[in-house]
Chains A and B, each alone.
Chain A
Amino acid sequence: MKNILKTTLMGTLCLTAVACSDQEAMNVNPNAASNVPSNMIMNAAEKWTMDNVYDVWFSGRQCLVYAQQWSQRNYTEEDRYQIRESVNNSYFKYLYLGLNNFQKVIQLNTNPATKDGSSAYGANANQIAAAMIMKVWLADLMTDTWGSIPYSEALKLESDGVLYAKYDDQKELYAQLIKELTEAVNMIDESEDAFTSGDIIFDGDASKWKKFGNSLKCRLAVHMSKVDSNWKNYIAEALASGVMESNDDAAKYQYSSTGSEYCKFYEGFFVDRRNDFAISKTLCDLLKGQPDTLNAKTHPWEGVIDPRLYVYGVNDGVYNGMCVATQTGVQSRIFTQDKVASWYHNQPPVLSKTFAVPLMTYAELKFIVGEYNGFNVDDYKEGVAASIEYWYDVMGESISQEDIDEYVDAVSKDVNAETYAIQKYIDLYCNGTEAWTEIRRTGYPNQILRPGEHSGVLGTTVYDFEPLSEVKGDIISRVKYPTDESTLNGANWQAAVSKLQDGTNNYYSKMFWDVRKNTYDHPANK
């Protein structure tokens, strides 16, 4: 009896002990890596960011329709400034996840424990600089979308346990971003790689990162042209440090056709099968040299066909754009009536699997520098030509120099702030937020349809652009803060909302750099 008891008890404890010894090992996750080289994180950070910015939601249903580059051909809520809460919630956080991954690259190259290991994948300082530049690029896009956003206290959950980040005043945020860009470009050692591999944007070329950093500084500076007298100083600093010099230096992200890693524009159409978009009539008519007779608006180059029309639209010989944001039922009928090409059946180049999404083009830089130089003709011409070459190159097509010259001459008869803005708007195709930002900053192109203007004609009935949300007669000034923040970051969200115009979370509060007095007002030109 004693033995039985003893054996049983001993057996129990032994078995327990044996089982205990491998319990700790059991809790190491076999499904994911716990140590990853910094270049692999940079690789994912770049792609994650591109996937979530250049897609049919953040871009396709929001900034591209706000910029009137794309139009939804059926459900026009966003075109009429009614956002989907769930989309707004998702993208707000997805973009922060993007920031956090760039931040991780910086940490791995800063932290003494991981710094040396990381240097095997590119010089520490260069990796840090590249990640900082991407962070600034993304943060700028975010603040230009929502306004004041958390930045100084954001991304500090892991390091400091910060669950609730305050919203930084947009003006201060811009100052901070300029400062970070300056730091970043100054630390780059062009003789060393930024990344040995994994960097899709510049393939690890440190000097290109530096040029991009300085060019981006010019973009931020010009955004502040009406509100910060230092804007020219920032550009001067950047030019001195070195900016993009040709289309070769352009910042773009080239998707590959391997596996399922297609450009998200393609995926939205052909994987998710959403035939919801078409090129906007606003952009299309500008490219076609067609004035807006419905609203009696002139065209600066009436009858001049932009070579980029073949790149942006569907070559069906007609190139009809989709009118802007009439009501849902009307929209689809005008689509049919106006013979707008269905992108679903006629795939425009922008919907190719391997589309290279543009972060910033050389042409854009030329237009900024030209504005800095007082809207001069040479920068303008160079910008327009560079843009045409760039877009043809992205699509894998070529265009003769004569064709370029012919167009450049046709659009350079009277170069001023307005022509600058229009050419920049055309070049910023697919760069929805930046295009929208420039419309808000400059008030141009005049051809952008404003609320209350005539949008389209169905039969004999004229439909007007009637926003679903209050925008005080202007185009949308910002995107509302997501409802997520009201529950997960309530006090800070509340504080940020209270600083908006009328203290409500609305679409009409202006960016700090948007100081237009009315919808057409362009202070730079007055």
Chain B
Amino acid sequence: MKKRLTLFMASILLFVGGAFAQTQVSGTVFSEEDQQPIIGATVRIDGIKVGMLTDANGRFSLTMPQGRTKLKISYVGYESVTVTAKDGMKVYLRQDAALLDEVVVTAMGISREKKALGYAVSELQGEELLKSRGGLNNPVNALQGKVAGLQISSGAGSMGGSSKMLIRGANSLSGSNQPLFVVDGVPIEGKDFNSTDAARGGGGYDYGNLIQDINPDDIENISVLKGASASALYGSRASNGVVMITTKKAKKQQGMGVEFTSTIGFERVTKLPKLQSEYGGGYGYAALDGEDDFGEVTINGKTYITPDYGMDESWGPKLDGRQVLSWYDLAKWEANGKKGDPTTSPWSAPSSDYEDFFETGVSFTNNVSLSQVYDNSSLRISYTNTSLSGYLPNSSMYKNTFNVNGNITSPNKKLNVFTSVNFYNNRAKGRQDTGYGDNNIMVKFTQWGQRQLNMNELEEMWRYPDGTMAAWNRNDVDDPTPAYHNNQYWSRYMNYENDTRNRIYGNVGASYQILPMLKAQYKANLDFFVDKQYERNAVGSQEESRYMEISRQQYEINHEFMLMYNQIFGDYSVAANLGANIMKNHYEYVYGESVGGLAIPEFYNLANSLTQAAGYNYRREKSINSLFADVTLGWKNMLFLEGTVRGDKSSTLPTDNNTYVYPSVTASWLFSELLKDKLDWLDYGKVRIGFAQVGNDTDPYQLYNIYSQYTNIDSSTPGYRLPNTMNNPDLKPERTTSLEFGLEMNFFQNRLGFDLTYYQTNTKDEILPLSVSGTTGYIYKYVNSGEIENKGFELGLHATPVRTKDFEWTTNITLASNKNKVKSLADGVDYYRIVSSPFKVEIGAMVGEEYGVIMGTDFVYDENGNKMVDENGLYMATDGNQVIGNIYPDFTGGWVNTFRYKNFDASIQLDFSKGGKYFSTTYLWGMYCGMFEETAENNVRETGIVSEGVTEDGKPNTQVVSARDYYENFYTGPAAQSVLKSDYVKLREINLGYTFNLRPEWFVKSLRLSAFGRNLAVWGPDVKHFDPEMIVTSSGNMQGVEGGATPMVSTYGFTVNLKF
């Protein structure tokens, strides 16, 4: 075989060479920057279309025809040179800064010239992620607004919480639409393990999606492959796009490179719901029945006024300063052994309100990296440490990350053994309970509570000297046990969670340059993690005391084989890859929890369970075997045609239907090559077109019916019941088909340019658990559903309006619009429920509508569009659920301006989202319970409110109802009252930096100081109480419901970067 190929090669050269008299020339091509030989550089004889590629040693050998003396040598990312041929010559190529960004990392880690791509790829340098990270956020949030068509919603201030990413809209009805993350070729688990309850606002902790484990300090660059064309080679999991991350490798320099970066970040709560401060806790007030809520109690012969401690609403008496026996007076008195008389406090607005509960979060991030390149090897080692104390009392997080990148090449440079390993260690404590959770302090502050409560009193007296809780929400004067709520500080200090994650991901592999144009490579990619979660509810809490422990372990290994072939024939170039991949994923979950409460306070072990602790376990295995190939044909460096094909065989599908093959074809034409001489203002122009399909399987165990263990009340005969979900042995693979067109143009020495993409993506036969009517005997059934379509455009605009020696201003605008339509669901089905919220609404997909409709009761409108009011003077609600909103935006975008003046640089970023709504549970209860500002505005509690609308006889409503009845109707009336717009414009980021001029021979070679601010302001139609972004509590598709959301925070910080 080897002989034959050599012969074939030789014959080409002979054929070419035979026509002329000949001179033998050989030489080596090096990179000027690191003095390394360049493999695969094109060496052509100037004037004729004959050439070859350099081999693994950067060497070439050519026979020069007579009359030809010049060689043109080129390589992607380097400036081409034309030199006089001389035997034994050494040619040094210089990296071309202007061209550098034209090389992008594409699927399977293959570097490609951007101009050859028939699809849209967005690239970002790693440093973009570093600029404004305070150590607090999910690193992917830094991509917000920077990539057209990439929508990122970050859970506001939730320490290490989830971020939801969406590329080109939702393609999948169920599950998640999160793109696949690939770090140095290793597919990384990026999802979250949050409970459905956490996602739907029911409660539970947001542990964040695992993609936050990537470390920005080690990222060289990020490529976002948006369409199916770009990701066809990754198969199933890439149908939502791919985020390709390349980590930093050692760079050639004098001796050892040492770099040190340190960031200090601060975070402050900025966006809190606005609450009323005129009325305190309770339920009755003067306007209601002529008497207020206060009771009386006699202690030691003295009579005291008592508020309604047990009530958790704020429809109580006006805060008029009367002296009352507050919960705090009672608790202090009780703590002191009930000696003497209790004190009293004025019934007035709190001197320290709930914003005082939040602290300033502080984070420190330090990174040090060492790197060196040797003759036959290179190594980079980096360590990052982050520690932070969150803005909530008793919250903290620590992260340690090691990254090692290295390779060894054989002396002949043909064999290259390489590895990239990341070790990640994370521990966190005191994440915030979300949604309607018992210990979500936001619920207690904004939904159910008493508005006169003083934070400093709650903090000072959160427990009695005997260790039991002091509750503001006590059952009665003589009964200090909590009625519904824990003291918020008790929630934070006693009922907290903690968690840890240890993770290793990386690869080891070897490549062998068989021939100059042919390389073989094998890589083993591993992602392994152990995730532990510990949750506790202390003895003495309002809820039953509890301890639970979850242990998750997952590993995924991908064995990847590839043959890579590159060749040029005259005007034609060929690049081809043939590969195989074996993927195995193994997941295990063990869960233990106490039953019936805990015996010994503050002892957290399953052995402390009052009755035998319960345990559960779950195992899951999956494998996909794949073969894939792609071929790119180029003509005159101007026209490119690429085809790919991949076949997968998945363990999760029925054996007769588990293999699926899918192709892609893309083409691009650099029309500017033709116009280059005619239009000198046109630097670059390209049209591209792409068609691709991606097949997809599903999660394991959805084919065969099983029974769920339900009870062991009869010790001899355990009870098994039918599961809620009916499985389906006839599932077939899903298929996503996409079509995209693009136009890229740059003008005026690249000072102005745009990249426009139009796409259409249709996903068919998606496998999902269809919600079915309970009358079927099941709640869900697995089906291959119908079709969902996304159409849209993405526009990236870049301009450099000013460029002088000292001053430069560049501006980048990204815009994207996505129109989604659910075209069909399963046969005869027109609605799919994604999730139902705890109280009023559900989120679903309805045929003919956009994906993600909010279904709930609406106002009843008359034929003129007026809201109808019932005989009680309150808004009427529709009988059943109707579409009352859509959760996804129509338009998103960002605008980044970057300035450089001498050594100063600055950037400012705005981004926006338009269209889209959400249902706010906080809004509902905040109104219902008389907490929100509106419930006390304009004297409504004294004078009442008239619902704006018409009565059943068509006349304008004039009936005055009490404020409480009006606002209670937020719960009992139409759900549409609590649907808010999620539109916003946000001042996302401001960065300032100064780079000192230091000489290379100094000890410190580079010094940069910078400062940043993030999430600085938000504007929008419904941002009075909330930042619309804060509603995210999972990375999956269960979105659109706010419930006790963590408030939005702003982060600020300073960074020092030193290079030695």
Given A47-B719, A497-B879, A505-B879: A154 and B775 interface contact (C-beta under 8 Å) = yes
Chain B contacts for A484, CB-based, 8 A? 773-774
Min CB–CB distance B380 → chain A (angstroms):
30
Min CB–CB distance A196 → chain B (angstroms):
8
Min CB–CB distance B426 → chain A (angstroms):
28
Q: How far, in whole Å, are A74 and B700 apart by their CA atoms in the complex?
A: 46
Tell whether, in the assembled complex, residue A2 and residue B1 are in contact, meaning their CB atoms are under 8 Å apart: yes
Tell whether, in the assembled complex, residue B773 and residue A164 are in contact, meaning their CB atoms are under 8 Å apart: yes
Q: Which one of B512, B777, B829 lies within 8 Å of A157 (CB-CB)? A: B777
| 9 interchain residue pairs of minimum CB distance | A329-B283, A93-B774, A2-B1, A1-B2, A486-B880, A100-B777, A44-B719, A198-B717, A43-B719
Tell whether, in the assembled complex, residue A29 and residue B544 are in contact, meaning their CB atoms are under 8 Å apart: no
Indicate whether B711 reaches chain A with its CB closer than 8 angstroms. Answer: yes
Given A157-B778, A504-B879: A2 and B717 interface contact (C-beta under 8 Å) = no
Q: Which of B704, B719, B722 has the most CB of A within 10 A?
A: B719
Would you mind naming 10 contact pairs between A and B with Cβ atoms under 8 Å apart?
Answer: A16-B625, A19-B625, A23-B655, A41-B719, A48-B719, A84-B839, A259-B614, A275-B475, A332-B311, A336-B476
Chain A residue, CB-CB nearest to B4: A2
Given A96-B777, A271-B596: A505 and B717 interface contact (C-beta under 8 Å) = no
Indicate whether A241 reaches chain B with its CB closer than 8 angstroms. Answer: no
Chain B contacts for A94, CB-based, 8 A? 774
Min CB–CB distance A32 → chain B (angstroms):
4
Given A12-B580, A256-B713: A157 and B726 interface contact (C-beta under 8 Å) = yes
Indicate whether A369 reaches chain B with its CB closer than 8 angstroms. Answer: no
Tell whether, in the assembled complex, residue B623 and residue A26 are in contact, meaning their CB atoms are under 8 Å apart: yes
Chain B contacts for A19, CB-based, 8 A? 582, 584, 623, 625
Q: Which one of A157, A261, A487 lies within 8 Å of B844 (CB-CB)? A: A487
Interface members, chain B 848-885 (any A CB < 8 Å): 855, 857, 879-881
Task: Indicate with 1 or 0, residue by residue over A358-375, a CB within 8 angstroms of chain B CB atoms.
Answer: 000000000000000000
Instruction: Tell which of B88-96, B288-296, B490-498, B677-685 binds the partner.
Output: B288-296
Tell whether, in the assembled complex, residue A43 and residue B713 are in contact, meaning their CB atoms are under 8 Å apart: yes
Chain B contacts for A255, CB-based, 8 A? 713
Indicate whether A333 reaches chain B with its CB closer than 8 angstroms. Answer: yes
Chain A contacts for B19, CB-based, 8 A? none
Interface members, chain A 69-123 (any B CB < 8 Å): 74, 77, 82, 84-86, 89, 92-97, 99-101, 103-104
Interface members, chain B 404-444 (any A CB < 8 Å): none
Which B positions have Cβ atoms within 8 angstroms of A?
Answer: 1-5, 282-284, 289, 291, 293, 295, 308, 310-311, 313, 315, 475-476, 479, 481, 483, 512, 514-515, 520, 542-544, 559, 561, 563, 580, 582, 584, 595-596, 611-612, 614, 617-623, 625, 627, 649-652, 655, 658, 700-701, 703-724, 726, 771-779, 781, 828-831, 833, 836, 838-840, 842, 844, 855, 857, 879-881, 972
Tell whether, in the assembled complex, residue A47 and residue B711 are in contact, meaning their CB atoms are under 8 Å apart: yes
Q: How far, in whole Å, are A48 and B720 apart by their CA atoms in the complex?
A: 10
Min CB–CB distance B596 → chain A (angstroms):
6
Tell whether, in the assembled complex, residue A36 and residue B776 are in contact, meaning their CB atoms are under 8 Å apart: no
| Given pairs A20-B625, A165-B773, 8 additional interface contacts (CB within 8 A) | A15-B582, A34-B705, A40-B719, A154-B776, A155-B776, A255-B713, A330-B283, A486-B879
Q: How far, in whole Å, are A96 and B722 apart by their CA atoms in the complex?
A: 12
Chain A residue, CB-CB nearest to B477: A336
Instruction: Tell which of A281-289, A384-392, A423-431, A488-496 binds the partner.
Output: A488-496
Indicate whether A328 reaches chain B with its CB closer than 8 angstroms. Answer: yes
Chain B contacts for A483, CB-based, 8 A? 857, 880-881
Tell whether, in the assembled complex, residue A8 and residue B563 are in contact, meaning their CB atoms are under 8 Å apart: yes
Min CB–CB distance A212 → chain B (angstroms):
19
Tell whether, in the assembled complex, residue B315 and residue A165 are in contact, meaning their CB atoms are under 8 Å apart: no
Tell whether, in the assembled complex, residue A489 and residue B775 are in contact, meaning their CB atoms are under 8 Å apart: yes
Tell whether, in the assembled complex, residue A329 and residue B315 are in contact, meaning their CB atoms are under 8 Å apart: yes
Chain A contacts for B721, CB-based, 8 A? 41, 44-45, 48, 97, 101
Interface members, chain A 21-63 (any B CB < 8 Å): 23-24, 26-34, 36, 39-41, 43-48
Q: How far, in whole Å, are A280 and B1 apart by their CA atoms in the complex?
A: 93
Indicate whether A526 reaches chain B with its CB closer than 8 angstroms. Answer: no
Q: Which one of B283, B625, B701, B778 lies within 8 Å of A27 (CB-CB)? A: B701
Chain A contacts for B315, CB-based, 8 A? 329
Chain B residue, CB-CB nearest to A47: B711
Main secondary structure of the interface of A (DSSP, over half): helix
Q: How far, in whole Å, are A378 and B803 apart by their CA atoms in the complex?
A: 107
Tell whether, in the assembled complex, residue B707 and residue A155 are in contact, meaning their CB atoms are under 8 Å apart: no
Which A positions have Cβ atoms within 8 angstroms of B?
Answer: 1-6, 8, 11-13, 15-16, 19-20, 23-24, 26-34, 36, 39-41, 43-48, 74, 77, 82, 84-86, 89, 92-97, 99-101, 103-104, 149-150, 153-158, 162-165, 197-198, 200, 255-256, 258-261, 270-273, 275, 327-330, 332-333, 336, 342, 344-345, 459, 461, 468, 483-490, 493, 497, 504-505
Chain B contacts for A41, CB-based, 8 A? 707, 719-722
Tell whether, in the assembled complex, residue B284 and residue A330 are in contact, meaning their CB atoms are under 8 Å apart: yes
Q: Which one of A162, A271, A461 lies within 8 Å of B776 (CB-CB)? A: A162
Chain A contacts for B291, CB-based, 8 A? 459, 461
Tell whether, in the assembled complex, residue A273 and residue B772 are in contact, meaning their CB atoms are under 8 Å apart: no
Q: Which one of A30, A43, A493 lies within 8 Å of B717 (CB-CB)? A: A43
Given A27-B652, A33-B706, A158-B777: A493 and B561 interface contact (C-beta under 8 Å) = no
Tell whether, in the assembled complex, residue A28 and residue B561 are in contact, meaning their CB atoms are under 8 Å apart: no
Chain B residue, CB-CB nearest to A73: B310
Chain B contacts for A153, CB-based, 8 A? 775
Chain A contacts for B658, CB-based, 8 A? 23
Q: How far, in whole Å, are A178 and B706 apart by their CA atoms in the complex?
A: 33
Q: Which one of A86, A163, A329, A493 lies within 8 Å of B282 (CB-CB)? A: A329
Tell whether, in the assembled complex, residue B627 and residue A258 are in contact, meaning their CB atoms are under 8 Å apart: no
Tell whether, in the assembled complex, residue B651 and residue A1 are in contact, meaning their CB atoms are under 8 Å apart: no
Q: How far, in whole Å, are A15 and B3 apart by their CA atoms in the complex?
A: 28
Chain A contacts for B707, CB-based, 8 A? 32-34, 36, 41
Chain B residue, CB-CB nearest to A150: B775
Chain B contacts for A336, CB-based, 8 A? 295, 476
Tell whether, in the assembled complex, residue A16 and residue B627 are in contact, meaning their CB atoms are under 8 Å apart: yes
Min CB–CB distance B368 → chain A (angstroms):
40
Chain A residue, CB-CB nearest to B703: A27
Q: How far, in whole Å, are A466 and B76 apart by their CA atoms in the complex?
A: 81
Chain B residue, CB-CB nearest to A40: B720
Tell whether, in the assembled complex, residue B774 and residue A92 are in contact, meaning their CB atoms are under 8 Å apart: yes
Tell whether, in the assembled complex, residue A163 and residue B706 are in contact, meaning their CB atoms are under 8 Å apart: no
Tell whether, in the assembled complex, residue B777 and residue A154 are in contact, meaning their CB atoms are under 8 Å apart: yes
Min CB–CB distance A146 → chain B (angstroms):
11
Tell whether, in the assembled complex, residue B722 and residue A97 are in contact, meaning their CB atoms are under 8 Å apart: yes
Min CB–CB distance A145 → chain B (angstroms):
14
Chain B contacts for A163, CB-based, 8 A? 772-773, 776, 781, 828-829
Tell whether, in the assembled complex, residue B776 and residue A157 are in contact, meaning their CB atoms are under 8 Å apart: yes
Tell whether, in the assembled complex, residue A100 and residue B722 are in contact, meaning their CB atoms are under 8 Å apart: yes
Chain B contacts for A86, CB-based, 8 A? 836, 838-839
Q: How far, in whole Å, are A32 and B282 apart by their CA atoms in the complex?
A: 50
Min CB–CB distance A356 → chain B (angstroms):
12
Given A158-B726, A259-B595, A488-B833: A23 and B649 interface contact (C-beta under 8 Å) = yes
Chain A residue, CB-CB nearest to B438: A273
Chain A residue, CB-CB nearest to B625: A16
Given A484-B774, A487-B855: A40 and B717 interface contact (C-beta under 8 Å) = yes
Tell whether, in the assembled complex, residue B561 and residue A11 are in contact, meaning their CB atoms are under 8 Å apart: yes
Chain A residue, CB-CB nearest to B774: A93
Chain B contacts for A504, CB-based, 8 A? 879
Min CB–CB distance A157 → chain B (angstroms):
4
Chain A contacts for B700, CB-based, 8 A? 26-27, 29
Tell whether, in the assembled complex, residue B543 and residue A272 are in contact, meaning their CB atoms are under 8 Å apart: yes
Chain A residue, CB-CB nearest to B202: A86
Min CB–CB distance A468 → chain B (angstroms):
6
Q: Which of B719, B726, B775 has the most CB of A within 10 A?
A: B775
Chain B residue, CB-CB nearest to A485: B773
Q: How far, in whole Å, are A490 and B515 apart by their CA atoms in the complex?
A: 66
Q: How far, in whole Å, are A239 and B170 apart by their CA atoms in the complex?
A: 63
Chain A contacts for B718, CB-based, 8 A? 40, 43
